[in-house]
Homo-oligomer: A and B are copies of this chain.
Amino acid sequence: MSTLADVAREAGVSKATASRAMMRPDMVAASTLERVRAAAERLGFQPNRAARALTTGRTGMLGLIVPTLANPFFSPLVLGAQRAAEETDNHLLIGVSEYDAARESALAGRLCEQADGLVMVAPVGSDASLRAQASHRPLVLVDRRVGRLPAVVLDTSAGTAALVQHLCAFGHREIAYVSGPAGSWADAERRTAATEQAEADGGRLHILGPLDPTFDAGVAAARQLPPSVTGVVAYNSYLALGLLHGLTAAGIHVPRDLSLAAADDLNALGATDPPVTALDVPVEEAGALAVARLLEVHAGTRRTVTTRLPTHVLPRGSTAPPPGTAARTPHGAGHGA
């Protein structure tokens, strides 16, 4: 591997000039620049990032901690982050916490050693531990807010409210929110939003759970729905899928007897029978944005801000007017946040 010194020699300039040609082309005479570039090209020069990191203090690496990759929610997130990193000539160090707070914080510590900053997606750690982490290195949260720490939030709570509104517009009044996991920040947000929206629309919200956000839990939940309920909003797609299965198995037809919607969107929801009304969530964008924010924080360009990314109701076949209602189109459907 050729070094900067090689390039400098080949181009007949000093190391300093060669370095400038790469870092600050505008500080170098055009002809010199040309020569250095040619030399670098000829030698296939690739700067040694470790050496660069040592002098500049920037490693060019960004840590990304996700709870899991098995949940398809996180794939586009990582992809978006990876692209954004790539575009800015950064690299992505990945860590999978498996929803374990201890593992998460250990990973954060390890990654920080080597990265310029950290993106933590839906972290499970305590506010205090995240604050501590942030005091150490630039930290951007995704789908979690802790005080004034910079965060990118997918606004599924507004989306959940929009879903409730969507149901109310159809004429539903007795609505159930099927909760996600106990202690989940996202679930708490969605639940609150659903409650407030139901109230605002003159409906009543029944809450089931907390539940594991799984297919099986959804199947079980289908048997627990209060009989008065005509519309259901599930914390996530897995629960919705389970609910759909459970309801169908119990002879309850969706959407004729009951309307069903999910507060996120797995592709699978579009392929069920009927397809399930859900939320369009810009996950990949969130990943990219988190990286962009992190870079800004690192550069000191940006104060601590939370960006909420809007989500939108994706009306599909699973929501309709409640039984015994003349069919009509809901007003206000299709617009979230």
A interface, CB within 8 angstroms of B: 46-51, 53-54, 59-61, 64, 68-70, 72, 74-76, 78-79, 82, 86, 91-96, 98, 107, 110-111, 113-114, 215, 271
Given contact pairs A82-B96, A95-B82, A110-B86, A70 touches B59 in the complex (Cβ within 8 A): no
In the bound complex, CA of A86 to CA of B104 (Å): 13
Please give me the residue from chain B that is nearest to A103 by CB atom: B86
Residues of chain B with a CB closer than 8 A to A78's CB = 69, 94, 96
Inter-chain pairs besides A64-B94, A72-B72, 8 sampled, C-beta below 8 Å: A61-B93, A61-B114, A68-B75, A69-B69, A69-B75, A78-B94, A79-B98, A215-B271
Q: How many copies does the complex hold?
A: 2
In the bound complex, CA of A256 to CA of B69 (Å): 37
Contacting A50 at CB < 8 Å: which of B50, B72, B82? B50
Is there an interface contact between B69 and A79, defined as CB atoms closer than 8 Å? yes
CB distance from A282 to the nearest CB of B (A): 16
Given contact pairs A49-B113, A54-B48, A92 touches B94 in the complex (Cβ within 8 A): yes
In the bound complex, CA of A50 to CA of B60 (Å): 11
Residues of chain B with a CB closer than 8 A to A70's CB = 72, 75-76
Residues of chain B with a CB closer than 8 A to A113's CB = 46-47, 49
Supply 20 A–B pairs (Cβ within 8 Å), ascending by A: A46-B113, A48-B54, A50-B50, A50-B59, A51-B54, A61-B93, A61-B114, A69-B69, A69-B74, A69-B75, A69-B78, A70-B72, A70-B76, A78-B94, A79-B98, A82-B95, A86-B107, A91-B93, A92-B93, A94-B94
Residues of chain B with a CB closer than 8 A to A114's CB = 49-50, 60-61, 91
Residues of chain B with a CB closer than 8 A to A69's CB = 69, 74-75, 78-79
CB distance from A221 to the nearest CB of B (A): 16
Is there an interface contact between B54 and A50, defined as CB atoms closer than 8 Å? yes
Please give me the residue from chain B that is nearest to A56 by CB atom: B50
Residues of chain B with a CB closer than 8 A to A60's CB = 114
In the bound complex, CA of A91 to CA of B78 (Å): 16
Residues of chain B with a CB closer than 8 A to A271's CB = 215
Please give me the residue from chain B that is nearest to A115 by CB atom: B91
Please give me the residue from chain B that is nearest to A55 by CB atom: B50
Residues of chain B with a CB closer than 8 A to A53's CB = 50
CB distance from A212 to the nearest CB of B (A): 15
CB distance from A270 to the nearest CB of B (A): 11
